[in-house]
Amino acid sequence: MTARFYNARQVVDKIGHLCDYILFDSAWVGYEQFIPMMADCSPLLLELTPDDPGIFVTQSVHKQQAGFSQTSQIHKKDNHLRGQARFCPHKRLNNAFMLHASTSPFYPLFAALDVNAKIHEGESGRRLWAECVALGIEARKAIIANCKMIQPFIPPMVAGRPWQDHPTEAIARERRFFSFEPDARWHGFEGYADDQYFVDPCKLLLTTPGIDAESGEYSEFGIPATILAHYLRENGIVPEKCDLNSILFC
């Protein structure tokens, strides 16, 4: 599902020597550069050298930023490649882009992109997303305190204390409260490296009974998340997506 974040620095270090450019599909994000603990996950904030590849980042602004439906944008970060044969100048990129653009564009979409940029300008973007992260943390704490069948998908214990017992301000500052530590039993994923992935603090990923994450085995009792999703829709709450035993809100 789309509630996991990768470490962009690790991606560049791992495959950068194979590429002239790397395209990061950031359709469901675009806010990571405004949240300090997520800085390593933003390809646009990476410090790059002439030996590194250029960076393209696509963002679907309409998903979790401030844009009309279908607004999206492409970012290009490659000043470190100027003077190299592989450098893609603006005119070349623009001609390729216009080849696939409509001859009758809907200008309110372009205006919405400008509005989104203005909303995030200066410290405004940082404040907005700091509030979002804090709200997501408080929502998780409330669910843990009040729900038995539905739980947030986060590490149950951090530094020897229950996740929810840590101050919201501390959780918002430190990525360890959302990290998939290698071989940790709470998530059950294999093959993860240190600091490679973590739960997106700005999305709410919840689990329902039915699967023991530590063992990967089915439980005797379960509630498919699809049933929960249908119930919520009938009551005016629209989840983003769900699978067998997890449901996502953005």
How far apart are the C-alpha atoms of 137 and 75, rounded to whole Å?
30
Our CA angle for 217, 221, 222, nearest 5°, is: 80
Q: What is the pLDDT of residues 198-247, one digit of tens each?
A: 999 999 999 999 988 777 788 889 999 999 999 999 999 999 999 999 99
Any idea what the Cα angle at residue 186 is, between residues 185 and 188, rounded to 5°? 60
Non-local CB neighbours of 249 within 8 Å, separated by 6+ positions: 203, 204, 205, 206, 239, 240
pLDDT number for residue 201: 95
| Residue-wise pLDDT tens digits, 118-134 | 999 999 999 999 999 99
- For residue 25 the two structure tokens come to 């599909």
Instruction: Specify the residue for token string 């071989």.
Output: 183
* Per-residue pLDDT at 2: 67
Q: What angle do CA 7, 1, 24 make, to 5 degrees?
A: 40
- Please report, for residues 30, 90, 98, the alpha-carbon distance to residue 93 in angstroms, rounded to integers and kept in the order given: 21, 5, 9
pLDDT at residue 185, as a whole number: 87
What's the pLDDT at 193? 87
Of 41, 55, 81, residue with least CA distance to 202: 41
Q: HSE of 196 in the Cβ direction (CA atoms, 13 Å)?
A: 12
Backbone φ and ψ for 74, nearest 5 degrees, come out as -120, 130
Run means of pLDDT, 10 residues per run, the chain, 250 residues: 83 95 94 92 94 96 91 96 96 92 90 95 95 97 96 94 97 95 88 90 94 83 94 95 92
> Which domains are assigned to the chain?
4-119 (3.40.640.10), 126-249 (3.90.1150.10)
Could you tell me what percentage of the chain is helix, strand and coil, using 3-state DSSP and rounding each to the nearest 5? 40, 15, 45
Confidence at residue 191, expressed as pLDDT on a 0 to 100 scale: 87
131: its two tokens? 């509030």
